[in-house]
Amino acid sequence: MTISRRGFLIALPLFVAGCSSTGLNSQTNYAALPDEKFPLKQVPIDKIKPELRRQEVAYESAHAPGTIVIDTPARRAYYVLGGNRAMRYGVGVGREGLAFAGNAYIGRKAEWPSWTPTENMQRREERYRRLAGGMPGGPNNPLGARAMYLYRGGSDTHFRIHGTNQPESIGLAMSSGCIRMMNHDVIDLYERVEVGARVVVVQA
What is the reported pLDDT for 125?
81
Residue type, position 8, single letter: F
What is the reported pLDDT for 177?
67
Fold type of domain 30-202: L,D-transpeptidase catalytic domain-like (2.40.440)
- At 46-104, the pLDDT tens digits run 999 999 999 999 999 999 999 999 999 999 999 999 999 999 999 998 766 567 889 99
What is the reported pLDDT for 27?
93
- With a cut of 50, which residues of the chain have pLDDT below it? 1-23
**For the chain, which residues make up each domain, given as ranges?**
30-202
Residue closest to 80 by CA, chosen among 181, 163, 192, 159: 192
**Which residues are known to be catalytic?**
162, 178
d(CA 29, CA 174): 25
Give the pTM: 0.84
What is the reported pLDDT for 14?
36
